[in-house]
């Protein structure tokens, strides 16, 4: 059993359902302190965060990840207990194996080998680990970044261990993510009897033509790295439950996943202009989850691509598809950010698993990246 597999199993065995860490970060801190990392435990409200750094010189390379996992769902539906890691047919089963305790284990063992071989490496290496990625993400990476920015501690390169691979390990590098902005729109009408519509005002009817325009609108054309911006309604709620009552208000939840071809402010303005044109009586609450970011080129992308070619023997693909990640908090500081991790086929699912061999491959790729950037 490799060091990477051993550490992955130890991490998975801890039921760290978000925002709980269950001692995972202490375990990581002990391993990192043993190879020369200075340790800071940063707790904000209910969230444990770890900042561990080796060296003070620039450039600063950061491994970023999270020890929290999503709930398991009914444990009786799992092949093996979700927090009792088990191996079957070369696959390691357990909650967090792919998202993303396996990646964290690979990062640590990659550093251990790299530092053993090059104890006087260039620059600095750090770990930014949170237990608030799968939850609201209010007290995790974003707060650590605020702390670093306040003391002018700048990240040059950051590798986030999110499961980026599709068909085989390291076949995809996420070099950016779409932005995400959501809203809760409340359209106010006048409640009344359906038999006397002239005495009421139906907010659903008033919003219907606006919804048609929103869904038909081309918000942008995307660009070389991002598909066009998309609009999706996630919930519409209105009515008292009775079929003979016109509702007094209609509440609509919707979300935009947007490219770098448009800004969140432009989206807000276009939506509110449309609502005003239809003279709706409304309130709207916007929530920006993260800005779009892109690391189109540079030493980090080159080193990551070259390392995959050297270790795996094949070319990788750059992609910005998928949801958001904590990279959205790191990229705005000016850091180059990529995401590279195991296959994402079973993340958040019952019987989440990762190939044992992929963990060792991932560790080798991480080590190779370190050699190219700091060797």
The residues annotated with a catalytic role in the active site are: 68, 133
Helix-, strand-, coil-residue percentages of the chain, each rounded to 5? 35, 30, 40
DSSP string of 161-229, one letter each residue: ----BSSSTTSEEE-EE-EEEEEEEEEE-B-EETT-GGGSB-HHHHHHHHHHHHHH-------SSSPPP
Which tokens in the block code for residue 340? 């590279």
Encoding tokens for residue 44? 């904000």
Task: Note whether 341 and 103 are within 8 A (CB).
Answer: yes
Distance of CA 103 to the CA centre of its chain: 14
Residue that the structure tokens 């939506």 belong to? 271
Ranges of H-type helices in the chain: 3-12, 24-33, 102-117, 141-150, 203-216, 264-277, 299-312, 327-330, 356-374
Instruction: Decide if 189 contacts 366 (C-beta within 8 A).
Output: no
Name the residue with tokens 């998928």.
322
Q: Which tokens in the block code for residue 274?
A: 């449309």
The dihedral built from the CA positions of residue 54, 56, 61 and 62, taken in this order, carries a sign that is positive
Phi, psi angles (nearest 5°) of residue 113? -70, -40
The tokens of 352 are what? 């989440």
- In whole angstroms, what is the distance from residue 52 CA to residue 62 CA? 9
CA 92 to chain centroid: 22
Query: For residues 321 and 298, what is the distance between their CA atoms, to the nearest angstrom?
Result: 20
């Amino acid at each position: 059993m490799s060091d990477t597999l051993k550490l992955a199993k130890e991490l998975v065995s801890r039921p760290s359902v978000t925002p709980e860490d269950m001692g995972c970060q202490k375990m990581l801190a002990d391993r990192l302190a043993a190879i020369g990392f200075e340790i800071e435990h940063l707790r904000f409200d209910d969230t444990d965060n770890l900042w561990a750094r080796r060296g003070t010189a620039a450039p600063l390379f950061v491994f970023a990840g999270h020890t929290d996992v999503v709930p398991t769902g009914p444990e009786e539906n799992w092949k093996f207990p979700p927090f009792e890691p088990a191996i079957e047919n070369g696959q390691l089963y357990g909650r967090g194996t792919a998202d993303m305790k396996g990646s964290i284990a690979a990062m640590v063992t990659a550093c251990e080998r790299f530092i053993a071989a090059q104890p006087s490496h260039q620059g600095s290496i750090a770990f930014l680990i949170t237990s608030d990625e799968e939850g609201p993400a209010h007290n995790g990476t974003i707060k650590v970044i605020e702390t670093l920015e306040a003391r002018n501690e700048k990240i040059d390169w950051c590798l986030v261990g999110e499961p980026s691979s599709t068909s085989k390990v390291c076949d995809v590098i996420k070099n950016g993510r779409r932005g995400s902005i959501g809203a809760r729109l409340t359209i106010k009408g006048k409640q009344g009897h359906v038999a006397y519509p002239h005495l009421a005002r139906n907010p659903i009817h008033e919003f219907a033509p606006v919804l048609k325009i929103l869904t038909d609108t081309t918000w942008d054309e995307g660009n070389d790295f991002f598909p066009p911006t998309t609009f999706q309604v996630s919930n519409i709620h209105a009515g008292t439950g009775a079929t003979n009552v016109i509702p007094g208000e209609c509440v609509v939840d919707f979300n935009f996943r947007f490219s770098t071809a448009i800004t969140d402010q432009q989206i807000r303005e276009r939506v509110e202009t449309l609502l005003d044109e239809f003279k709706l009586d409304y309130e709207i609450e916007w929530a920006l989850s993260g800005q779009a970011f892109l690391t189109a080129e540079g030493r980090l992308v080159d080193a990551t691509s070259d390392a995959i070619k050297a270790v795996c023997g094949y070319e990788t693909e750059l992609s910005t598809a998928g949801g958001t990640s904590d990279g959205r908090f790191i990229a705005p500081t000016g850091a180059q950010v990529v995401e590279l991790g195991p296959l994402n086929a079973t993340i958040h699912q019952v019987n989440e698993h990762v190939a044992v061999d992929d963990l060792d491959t991932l560790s080798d790729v991480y080590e190779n990246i370190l050699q190219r950037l700091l060797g």
